[in-house]
């Protein structure tokens, strides 16, 4: 039977993907050498040009870190400080935001002016895959022009694997309708061997797109979502849906003897990227490796007591052009917070989408559980971003561990403008 063509995501296909992409993820949103972080490094944000389709293709202007699209892969270990001298040569203010880290906005650096050098020190308590990029609020234009990179924070016990690959998915600079990019290119030069296990660390680096990554007929096991380990499980049809800013770690057990397997990335309401991964050489081993084991848990509460939980409602309203969250339509951070919790409180948030647009809701600095329909249990993973379709209600719960101010953003999917934002205080 011929393989059906890989089509971009439609509303109906997206709804099916949200419900069927992976067991246990119902209703969920769903490179180059790394730089050592043992010494202080210099990272420069500046404009540049690249040829996306090869040396003979047209030049495309972009914003990048160290002249690269995407920026270089940064690497450190959990608990160790990452030290950077950050130079802004963009000609406009910018901010270095560590997307996915469990930190409040007080831990984020202030705006860095043009030609300014900022000393940045940040330490992650969690091992995982993170993004570095401009801030969610006010930085969407720079992100759309290419300013993003991956940060890998290692644990002492990585998963059993043969090779690690990073994949940052983005859009070519240029606005609506720009081609999808994989590691800054329209095609990957990847190869694999039968029975090889690849540790794939992937992130959706777009500002407002939903992407579905697929390696059809391959054995893909999800082991971490949004920088937090999860109960390993095999992804149905070899595919996963990621909202803007989401990250996943997948163990890919390569099957088949070649000559190639398709790698496909579909965009909700837009075109797709289709590539081939060459399968060549003798099998790496006689039989596939045993099923993956869980990764070591990060230092956050794995269970929650709902008996005295605080309950917040964050309804989504308005339109795609003028959205609201919890009754507010702020595009910039307000001087006042919308909610307050005490350190150690369990917070249960109900997010109901009364708008006509699909939204990606992101909890800055939090790792949340997606609750079952009756609030009597939770899915076997954490997340910090959830897709909420029109007419859908989702419930999240998290422990307000740290004192500080934290943001909640709601981004209409495929909208050119940035998210609406509310803040809550813990303390």
Q: Give a yes or no: residue 213 inside a domain.
A: yes
| Residue 205 and residue 221 share a domain | yes
Q: Give a yes or no: residue 286 inside a domain.
A: no
Residue 406: give its domain's CATH number.
Answer: 2.60.40.420
Per-residue pLDDT averaged across 242-256, rounded? 96
Res. 18: pLDDT tops 60: no
267 Cα distance to chain centroid: 15
CB neighbours of residue 309 within 10 Å: 16
Q: Give a yes or no: residue 295 inside a domain.
A: no
Res. 410: pLDDT tops 80: yes
Per-residue pLDDT averaged across 249-265, rounded? 92
pLDDT at residue 166 in the model:
98
Per-residue pLDDT averaged across 316-344, rounded? 93
Domain termination residue (choose one: 257, 279, 301): 279
Q: Could you tell me the two tokens for 250?
A: 């997948």
Q: Give a yes or no: residue 2 inside a domain.
A: no
| pLDDT range class, residue 178, cuts 50, 70, 90 | confident
Res. 32: pLDDT tops 90: no
Q: CB of 108 within 8 A of CB of 94?
A: no
Cβ within 8 Å of residue 315, ≥6 positions away: 324, 325, 326, 327, 351, 352, 353, 354
pLDDT at residue 22 in the model:
42
**Cα–Cα nearest to 190, from 136, 110, 260:** 260
Least confident of 16-20, 31-35, 176-180, 183-187: 31-35
Q: Give a yes or no: residue 77 inside a domain.
A: yes
pLDDT in tens, 188-239: 999 999 999 999 999 999 999 999 999 999 999 999 999 999 999 999 999 9
pLDDT at residue 14 in the model:
60
Least confident of 10-14, 228-232, 289-293, 352-356: 10-14
pLDDT at residue 373 in the model:
74
pLDDT at residue 123 in the model:
87
pLDDT in tens, 44-95: 999 999 988 888 888 999 999 999 999 999 999 998 989 999 999 999 999 9
Q: Give a yes or no: residue 200 inside a domain.
A: yes
Task: Please state, in angstroms and rounded to a whole number, the distance separating the CA atoms of residues 323 and 351.
Answer: 14
pLDDT at residue 425 in the model:
95
| Residue 261 and residue 344 share a domain | no
Domain termination residue (choose one: 153, 181, 209): 153
Res. 292: pLDDT tops 60: yes
Task: Please state, in angstroms and rounded to a whole number, the distance separating the CA atoms of residues 396 and 348.
Answer: 6
Domain that holds residue 356: 310-426
Least confident of 239-253, 366-380, 381-395: 366-380
Domain termination residue (choose one: 106, 138, 153): 153
3-state secondary structure of 146: coil
Question: Terminus-to-terminus CA distance in the chain, angstroms?
Answer: 61
pLDDT at residue 25 in the model:
43
Domain count, the chain: 3
pLDDT at residue 53 in the model:
80
Task: Please state, in angstroms and rounded to a whole number, the distance separating the CA atoms of residues 150 and 138.
Answer: 20
- Identify which has the larger pLDDT, 225 or 38: 225
Q: Give a yes or no: residue 288 inside a domain.
A: no
pLDDT at residue 29 in the model:
29
| Residue 103 and residue 85 share a domain | yes
Per-residue pLDDT averaged across 274-300, rounded? 95
Buried b (16+ CB within 10 A) or exposed e, 158-175: ebebbeebbbbbbbbbee
Res. 153: pLDDT tops 90: yes
pLDDT at residue 64 in the model:
97
Per-residue pLDDT averaged across 315-319, rounded? 97
pLDDT at residue 231 in the model:
95
| Residue 369 and residue 344 share a domain | yes
| Number of helical (H) and strand (E) elements in the chain, helices listed first | 2, 31
pLDDT at residue 20 in the model:
39
Res. 383: pLDDT tops 90: yes
3-state secondary structure 249-299: EEEEECCCCCCEEEEEEEEECCCEEEEEEEECCCCCCCCCCCCCCCCCCCC
What does pLDDT average to over the chain? 89
CB neighbours of residue 156 within 10 Å: 8
| Residue 174 and residue 139 share a domain | no
């Amino acid at each position: 039977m011929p393989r059906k063509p890989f089509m971009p995501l439609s509303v109906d296909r997206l709804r099916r993907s949200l419900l069927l992409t992976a067991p246990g993820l119902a209703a969920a949103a769903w490179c180059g050498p790394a730089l050592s972080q043992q010494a202080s490094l210099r990272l420069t944000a500046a404009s540049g040009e690249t040829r996306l389709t090869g040396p003979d293709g047209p030049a495309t202007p972009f914003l990048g870190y160290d002249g690269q699209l995407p920026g270089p892969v940064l690497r450190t270990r959990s608990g160790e400080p990452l030290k950077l001298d950050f130079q802004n040569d963009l000609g406009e203010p910018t901010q270095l935001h560590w997307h996915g880290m469990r930190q409040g906005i007080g831990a984020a650096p202030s705006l860095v002016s043009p030609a300014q050098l900022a000393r940045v020190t940040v330490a992650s308590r969690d091992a995982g895959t993170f993004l570095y990029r401009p801030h969610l609020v006010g930085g969407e234009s720079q992100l759309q022009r290419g300013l993003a990179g991956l940060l890998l924070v290692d644990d002492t016990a990585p998963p059993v694997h043969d090779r690690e690959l990073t994949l940052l998915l983005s859009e070519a600079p240029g606005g609506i309708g720009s081609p999808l990019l994989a590691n800054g290119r329209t095609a990957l030069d990847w190869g694999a061997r039968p029975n090889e296990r690849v540790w794939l660390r992937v992130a959706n680096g777009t500002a407002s797109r939903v992407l579905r990554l697929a390696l059809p007929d391959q054995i893909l096991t999800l082991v971490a979502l949004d920088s937090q380990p999860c109960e390993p499980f095999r992804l149905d049809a070899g595919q996963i849906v990621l909202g803007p800013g989401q990250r996943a770690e997948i163990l890919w057990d390569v099957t088949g003897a070649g000559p190639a397997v398709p790698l496909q990335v579909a965009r909700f309401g837009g075109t797709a990227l289709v590539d081939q991964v060459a399968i060549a050489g003798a099998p790496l081993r006689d039989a596939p490796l045993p099923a993956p084991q869980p990764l070591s848990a990060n230092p956050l509460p794995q269970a929650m007591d709902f008996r005295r939980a605080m309950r917040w409602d964050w309804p989504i309203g308005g339109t795609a052009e003028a959205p609201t969250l919890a009754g507010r339509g702020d595009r910039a951070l307000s001087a006042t917070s919308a909610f307050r919790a005490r350190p150690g409180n369990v917070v249960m948030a109900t997010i109901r989408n009364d708008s006509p647009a699909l939204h990606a809701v992101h909890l800055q600095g939090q790792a949340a559980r997606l609750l079952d329909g009756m609030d009597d249990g939770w899915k076997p993973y954490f997340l910090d971003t959830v897709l909420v379709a029109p007419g859908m209600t989702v419930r999240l719960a998290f422990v307000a561990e740290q004192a500080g101010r934290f943001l909640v953003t709601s981004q209409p999917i495929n909208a050119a403008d940035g998210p609406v934002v509310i803040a809550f205080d813990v303390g």
